[in-house]
Structure 1
Amino acid sequence: MTIDNINDSPADPVGAFLFAVDALREIQSAMAGLAAMEVSLYAAVFAQAEQLTASMSSPITDREMALRTASAEIGAALRVSDRTVQRRMSQAWDVTHGFPQTFEALRAGRITPSHVNVILRASDGVPPGEARDAYETIAIERAVETPPGRLAAILPAVAAQVHDAGVNERHQRARRERRVEVHDLPDGMAELLAVLPAVIAHGMFDRLTSMAKAVEGVEVGDERCRDEIRADVLGDLVLGGGPIASGDGLAAIHAHVQVMVPVLTAAGVSERGAELVGSGPVDAGTARRLLGAASGWDRVMTHPVTGAALAVDRYRPGKDLRRALRVRDEHCRFPGCRQPAHRCDADHSHAAADGGQTHLDNLALLCRRHHVMKHVAAWVITHLGNGVLQWTSPTGRSYVDTPTPTLRFVPSGLDPGSDDGLDPGEP
């Protein structure tokens, strides 16, 4: 069968099922071929980045900045982070030039992009040449008949078999990659990821399990499962150096975060959630507990129709304009970038040295990566009003970035124009 006659499914259930199986297999093979085309395009851009940017109106000769500029243009067009695009470009070059057998297998539809990722990860430390060729040959033979998850468990041994000297080198290099990351999840949650030596990681997990067992079921009414207790113990240890009486670790948070809390939620009138800037929603109870430990509050005045931030003041003196900018932008304003405000620079869209004024209509928060790129690669920012920015690339194409809406809602029974203690003119 072919994808063209996919609607000609047999009438009997078994025949229809087998028809679907064959169709899915053919579609997977076709998608692998498309993925190979995508890899080829990314690799071509990676190779030609300097030539492309050197021919622009503001030539760029530095290779890293050329790659950033090309990645930014592609990312804005595809609505993908330019950091992700640059990683794809680099990996595409590695695949097409360092793993030709793997690339050909992908183009032929024999393996999937997931197999390619596994083959590349497990090859770390296997040098180009005979060892790499032998590794690729064995890896592809296994990949065509093995799911990616199982392949990932097999290939490290294959890499060690073809290049014994690389085992210790890979371990030492892997140790230098240890890190801690945080990834946002839905519903006000986040995932804390720690990449550590296996002995340390398993030892930590075992210790957390032992501590969880020690408190499991001790208090009457504690219905937490062991996974929940393990997570709570980890939070207590990191934030407070030991178990914390409140059990949620919020009192120990002293890190620099920005939380947008609706005034009615803060006052206890509404249960509408707040927002952790750069992340996502926070439940009303957590927001109020964080506010209770805050050294000061920002008050945000918004446009009654558009919801754009107009002004910010504080119960104690501070840098009002910078706070207003943080409230409006919340994160880096390059399309697709989510670096939070406290990691960004306040950049004059029209340079101050050229007469640009220091006010909201000429300022934007940019992370260091995009701040440098804007100036070196001659990207141009135009303010369209209400915080909307238009980015024009060196190629002349434009991309619009709209700030997160800052509309605030009130309960249906409360008149927005009333004097129920919520007048923005009152401190």
Structure 2
Amino acid sequence: MGRRDPFAELDMVATLDESARYAADELRVALTWTRRSAEATQCYADDLVFHLPQVHAALSAGRIDPAKARVFWHHLHGLAARHVESICAALLPHAGRLTTGQLAARLARAVIAVDPDRAREQYERAVTERSVIAYLNPDGTVTLTATGLPADEAAAACERIHHLATQIKRAGHPATLDQIKADVTLGLLNRRFDHMTTTQIITAMTSDVESGQAPANTDHAGQPATPTQPSTSTQASSPTPPSQSTPPDIPAGPRPGP
């Protein structure tokens, strides 16, 4: 549908050299997709058939699955035809025995090897488009992510979070390492740990756990409390004063993928 000639006679099958101008719109109407999804799918299909014929042939023959075809497209999209052919000849015979992660790593190395200038341009362009995104999940939690970060600085940030979380875990924190990493990341970003040393951060995290367990331990150790009448003091009945600052709204739902 993307390459058919919309002005051809009804009894003719005619194709275009490029995708039809409104191909994605027709796909969008026929399948009731969003514009972004229709355009992304049309671009992928056109590239796979006309620019990555080796990958399309392997997918059609069942030698690779759709997920691996997507990995090839992601790394080879826009690459010169001669480079696509050489990389596909080297990796397609082995793709069926690789995971998508292993395949992606090999493709990334191969692309850098055949066209290092293009790889550098892609990296620099991605860094200029770096951003931080937060969106509300269906369960009410929030996903906070940063994209397009410089590789060396991101690696240093991840190493610091992992190192802090490991020390907190060794200090007796009962949560999993991933949970502690999430708490440490949030504390570093929301300024809770501002001006704290590593030792102070560890103490603050473990103290939170101990203070949360203290009331439970006290209740078990003592006698059952005698019921009392609810307090009628002015302080108890007065409403809680509103916060002076309101956090920004977080958009609901994940960002649509390409």
TM range (shorter): 0.5 to 0.7
Following the alignment from structure 2 to structure 1, what is the Cα–Cα distance between the partners of residues 246 and 130?
Answer: 24
Shift of 1:91: 1.0
Counting only pairs closer than 5 Å after superposition, residues 18-37 of structure 1 correspond to structure 2 as none
Question: 2:141 corresponds to which letter in structure 1?
Answer: M
Aligned-partner Cα distance in 2 for 1:169–1:69:
31
Mapping of 1:105-124 within 5 angstroms? Answer: 105-123=58-76
Describe the superposition over 1:181-200 as per-residue Cα deviations: whole angstroms up to 9, x where unpaired: 44655533343332222212
Aligned structure 1 segments of 4 or more residues deviating by more than 6 angstroms: 244-247
Asked whether 1:157 is paired with 2:83, we answer: no
Deviation at 1:254, TM superposition (A): 1.0
Residues 198 and 125 of structure 1: CA distance in aligned 2, closer, same or farther (over 3 Å):
farther
Aligned to 2:58, the other structure's residue is in SS state helix
Give 1 or 2: higher helix fraction. 2
Structure 2 gaps of 5+ residues are: 8-18, 195-203, 209-242
Task: Look up the match of 1:179.
Answer: 131
Query: SS where residue 249 of structure 2 aligns?
Result: coil
Counterpart for residue 228 of structure 1: 179
1:248-279: CA deviation from partner (whole Å, max 9, x where unpaired): xxx8861124xxxxxxxxxxxxxxxxxxx834
Structure 1 unpaired stretches of 5+: 1-43, 53-62, 258-276, 280-337, 340-427
SS of the residue 1:256 aligns to: coil
Contact 1:106 / 1:116 at 8 angstroms: preserved in 2? yes
Instruction: Tell me by how many angstroms 1:235 deviates.
Output: 1.9
- Decide which of 25, 33, 54 is 1:69's aligned counterpart: 25
Equivalent residue for 1:85? 38
After superposition, the Cα gap between the structure-2 partners of 1:194 and 1:65, relative to the gap in structure 1 and judged at 3 Å, is: farther
SS of the counterpart of 2:43? helix
Letter aligned with residue 254 of structure 1: P
C-alpha separation in 1, matches of 2:50 and 2:127: 27
Residues 135 and 252 in structure 2, CA contact (< 8 A), matched pair in contact too: no
- Number of aligned residues: 197
TM-score, normalised via structure 1 length: 0.39
Aligned match of 1:242: 192
Asked if the contact 1:75/1:82 (under 8 Å) is kept, the reply is: no
Distance 1:188 1:107, change over 3 A: same
Counterparts in 2 of 1:164 and 1:205: CA distance versus 1, 3 Å:
closer
Greater relative contact order (Cα < 8 A, sep 6+): 2
Matched residue of 1:205: which SS? helix
- Give the alignment partner of residue 155 of structure 2, picking from 198, 202, 205: 202
Over residues 318-341 of structure 1, what are the superposed CA-to-partner deviations in whole Å (9 max), with x where a residue is unaligned?
A: xxxxxxxxxxxxxxxxxxxx88xx
What is the TM-score normalised by the length of structure 2? 0.60
Q: 1:254 aligns with which of 218, 227, 247?
A: 247
Give 2:252's aligned residue.
278
Q: Identify, as 1 or 2, the structure richer in strand.
A: 1
CA apart distance, 1:158: 2.2
Give me the whole-angstrom Cα distance separating, in 1, the residues matched to 2:45 and 2:124.
25
Match of 1:155, SS state, is helix
Q: Distance in 2 between matches of 1:199 and 1:253?
A: 35
Offset from partner CA, 1:117-172 (integer Å, 9 cap, x none): 111222256323x2222122223222244332321121222223333443323332
| Cα 1:158–1:146 shift into 2, 3 Å | same
